[in-house]
Structure 1
Amino acid sequence: MMVIKHCPLVDIPDTFNEFHQLISVKVYNSTIVEWRESAAITNTNHPAFLSLMLVRTNMTNGELPAGFQSSDPPLNLYDYEFCITNLREVPDDLD
């Protein structure tokens, strides 16, 4: 599990792809300024990934970062939780 708390400038590097056994990411009271597609949560790099939680979290322009919208989502991902965010909309194909 990766927990990011109280961070005003979250910028996830491409080395995030090296965490192959990661099962969950929780971001609390932070601002995600960059989570690129090149550092996306994917089935290829994160096959055990189950859950994404964003609480009291802001995202650039109120949009879900590209790193959460991979065309290769983890097959076991079942839990998206968004609470108190500036997210304006959830993509239709987020499943």
Structure 2
Amino acid sequence: MGSRSIRRVMVAASVVVASLGISVGFSGVANASPQRCEITMHNNGYIVGAKVKAACGNANASTSPLDPVAAAQRLACKAQLIALGVKSGHAQDACFSY
């Protein structure tokens, strides 16, 4: 193999590895859902009543991590839970569950 062939193989391999890293890095954000939100709240010791369920209803299971509507819904979920007295870290985990 010549120098150019080796370089092309290395560039191709780098692109594949980088694309895998990007997709794995973004995959967690898209997994939030109302059900996971409610389970996370319950597991953190909160009572999952009507207000928590309403807030968790905004946890969106969008397939695109770059979906601005889903991002706004997850932020609304977090803000509503915090307004109910949920610790910020718990609200983050619930609305942006991985």
TM-score range, shorter chain: under 0.3
- Given the two structures, how large is their TM-score scaled by the length of structure 1? 0.23
- If each structure's helix is expressed as a fraction of its own residues, which one has the higher value? 2
Larger radius of gyration: 2
Q: RCO (CA 8 Å, sep 6+): is it higher in 1 or 2? A: 2
- If each structure's strand is expressed as a fraction of its own residues, which one has the higher value? 1
- Given the two structures, how large is their TM-score scaled by the length of structure 2? 0.23
